[in-house]
Every structure is written in structure tokens, then in C-alpha cells.
Homo-oligomer: A and B are copies of this chain.
Amino acid sequence: MKISLIREAHERIRRTIRETPIETSSSLNSLVGAELFFKCENLQRGGSFKIRGAMNAVLSLSDKEMRGGVCTHSSGNHAQALAIAAAQRQVPATVVMPNNAPLSKQKATADRGAKIVLCGPTLEEREAACARVQQESNAVLIHSSSDPRIIAGQGTIALEMLQAAGDLDAIVVPVGGGGLASGVCIASQAAKVYGVEPEMADDAFRSLQTGERLGPRPPLTVADGLRTALSERTFSILQEGLETIFLVSEEEILAAMRLLWERLKLIVEPSGAVAFAGILRHKEVFAGKRVGIVLSGGNVDLTGETLGQLFR
């Protein structure tokens, strides 16, 4: 995929998304020993970067293609984003969500007017349920990470980061299905791109190590947005474009999230803190560098029970 596709995507979506701010923190710079630029996609429409890809996909389709509406399967943020994009285009959206997706994400998706179909939490169950929906409704499937229009949309984050922060030595992103990481690899120009993945969802790490695309581990990590696996397309883009993938533990994800809440006063969901967790674990790699970090989303169940678990 070429960077020109990402520039075209940016032209297509820029009036319907927010150019999110970049935050900095002298205390976090000191802690890491690097100059950090946090791209606040938690402040994006729908609470995550996913609107970029979803809007690009929906705005790319012809009226005829859209007749049956759109469908997808998603643990939450892509679901909500596709619902927003479909509503803007005034076509129906159906979303298959695993029954362990955060309630706030299920509710937000329904509030945007999408029809929700719940299924079991494994990738197989999600794909099977989505195939049924597609057959019944004749909707266009907009896959959350392997669709090239999605990848191009997510890559627009890197364009904005490089424009606003100037040259960067590195951009660090979380890796779930690899749509974000792929788009950023294509758009990153001179910046090296590092992926970070939870140890408990390390399919991309193992796939890149072995050179063979592996399926996901059981979807158990607290980083609910990263419970998916690479597709053939994102696997191949990441093999070529990614510097490396770092792994982080559940404790490291929660500690990074807590630091971001404390110092930036920003609500970042567990998946959104994964990239920063990777930097905290590998400070030596980033010492003295100018580093862009994607805070990918901010959708957290704000209940005492969930918060009590996240901030034990």
C-alpha cells in the first residue's frame, strides 16, 4: 500500500473527524529520558482512533454498494466508529460484539443507532456470527483491521503527528488486529515504528518471530481492544514495516494507564496505554529520542466495580 492512499484518506475524512491534540509532560519526559508526544486519540470522535478507518471506508463506498448497509465484528471501538460513520451516511449498521466487551462500548454503539448481535468471545465465534449477519442482510463487511480502506484511514494518525510535532525518531503503537500499526508503518516516513502487544495476546509477536501467522490466544487481556489477531494483509505489512514488537504484562499495562491518568489527567483505556507501557519497559531504546505515542482510545466502563479492578 502506498502513502498516497493515506493522504487521500486524510482528505476524505478530515472534515468529519477531529484533529486530536498532542500532549506533552515534562515529568513523563524525565521519567523515560526522552521527548514524548502523546497523540490523544482518546479525545477522538467515538473515543478512539477507529473513526478514521471506519469513516474512510464508509465514505469510499458508492450508494449502490451501501444498499444493504454495513456490518462488522468488533470488541467495541470499531463497532462504535462504524455506527457513527454509517449514521453520517444514513445507512444501517449491524455489529457483532463479543459478550465480554465492556458495557460502555456496547451501550455507546447501540446509542449511535447500530444493531448489536452478541456472540461468544473467541475469534471463531465472532467471525461465524458476522458471516451469518452478512448473509442475512446483504451488508458490506467492513473488517476492523484487514480492510485496506481501514488501514489507510488509521494511517492518517501518523500524518497528523508528523505535521504537528515535526520529525520523530520513533512512533509507538499498540497492536491488535494490526490495522493501526500497518497504517502507521506506511505513513511514518523516517520514523521507526514499534508495536507493543500484551503478553496475554501475543499473536503478532509470535507470528513475526516465527514468520508464520498464528491465531490469537484466548481473549483474556485487560486490553480488550487488542484481543484480535493479525490478518494476512496486516501480517505482511508489519513484517516489512515494523521495527519490532515489545510485549508487556497486565501489571505493566495497568501501571502505564495509571501514570497517564495521573500525569496527563486523560482517561485512556487499557489498550490505549499499551504503547506507553512498552516504552516504560524499554526506556533504553528510546533514550534521548523524539517519540510519538498513540493513546488509541479512552472508552472505559466508569463503574466502581471496573475502576476498582483497574486501580487495585
Contact of A307 among B262, B264, B298, B311 (CB under 8 A): B311
Is A238 an interface position by the 8 A CB rule?
no
Q: Is the CB of A304 within 8 A of B298?
A: no
What copy number does this chain have within its complex? 2
Among A62-109, those with CB < 8 Å from B are 104
Q: Chain A 269-312 against B: per-residue CB contact (8 Å), 1 yes, 0 no?
A: 00000000000000000000000000000100011110111111
Is A5 an interface position by the 8 A CB rule?
no
Is A153 an interface position by the 8 A CB rule?
no
Q: Is the CB of B265 within 8 A of A47?
A: yes
Contact of A304 among B23, B43, B309 (CB under 8 A): B309
Query: Which of A23, A265, A267, A268 gathers most chain B CB within 10 Å?
Result: A265
Is A258 an interface position by the 8 A CB rule?
yes
Residues of B within 8 A of A307 (CB): 304, 307-308, 311
Is A266 an interface position by the 8 A CB rule?
yes
Residues of B within 8 A of A303 (CB): 311
Is A231 an interface position by the 8 A CB rule?
no
- A21-B21, A258-B302 known; A265-B308 Cβ under 8 A: no
Is A42 an interface position by the 8 A CB rule?
yes
- A42-B265, A265-B47, A267-B266 known; A308-B304 Cβ under 8 A: yes
Residues of B within 8 A of A304 (CB): 307-312
Residues of B within 8 A of A265 (CB): 42-43, 47, 266-268, 298
Q: Which residue of B lies closest to A305 (CB)?
A: B308
In whole Å, how far is A56's beta carbon from the nearest beta carbon of chain B? Answer: 21
- The answer for the CA separation of A89 and B266 in the assembled complex, in Å, is 29
Among A10-32, those with CB < 8 Å from B are 21, 23
Q: Chain A 141-182 against B: per-residue CB contact (8 Å), 1 yes, 0 no?
A: 000000000000000000000000000000000000000000
Contact of A302 among B47, B262, B309 (CB under 8 A): B262
Q: Which residue of B lies closest to A310 (CB)?
A: B304
Given A266-B266, A266-B267, A304-B312, 11 extra CB contacts under 8 A: A43-B265, A104-B262, A258-B302, A261-B267, A261-B302, A267-B267, A303-B311, A304-B311, A307-B307, A307-B308, A308-B308
